[in-house]
Amino acid sequence: MNKCINYIYSIGAAMGSLGKGMFRTFSSMVHPARILTQQYPENRETTLYIPERFEAELHLIEDENGELKCTACTLCQTACPNDTIQIKVEKVTTPEGKSKRVLSEYIYDLGRCTFCGQCVDSCNFGALEMTNHFENSEYDKRKLVKLLNERHLPANRKEEQI
């Protein structure tokens, strides 16, 4: 007898669930302004809202002279929890005869990034920021590995990268 009551109760619960779903469907047909779903590719320029606090991709910041603020201290590389950032440094002798560390390559693997922002928080020089550019999908994961200081490489180094 108890199994029969449970069976009837489960049929009633299923009908109630079906009724809720049908009510939601018909109410969205009657009141289309209340629909919350956004048609993504079509509304990219019109109604798509991305909050400015949304963090999606790492970016190197330039100073007022167009030079990178990055001093190649590797604090961001150390702070990264999953080795997303690789910094290659060169030692250069200045005209005054002092040895100086210069950023050679700033490699950022977007496919491994967890977008935690610890690299930005650890930078003492304000050289990093997270942009809200979110369309990063690729078919080839090698395209997700980016050289962030590519624009600032000398012309002969750009040819080596290709």
- Residue range 113-144, pLDDT digits in tens: 999 999 999 999 999 999 988 888 889 999 99
pLDDT level of residue 40 (50, 70, 90 thresholds): confident
**Structure confidence at residue 32 (pLDDT):** 76
Residues with Cβ within 8 Å of residue 73, at least 6 apart in sequence: 101, 124, 125
Q: How many CB atoms lie within 10 A of CB 119?
A: 22
pTM of the entire structure?
0.68
- Which residue type is seen at 134? F
* pLDDT over 70 (residue 160): no
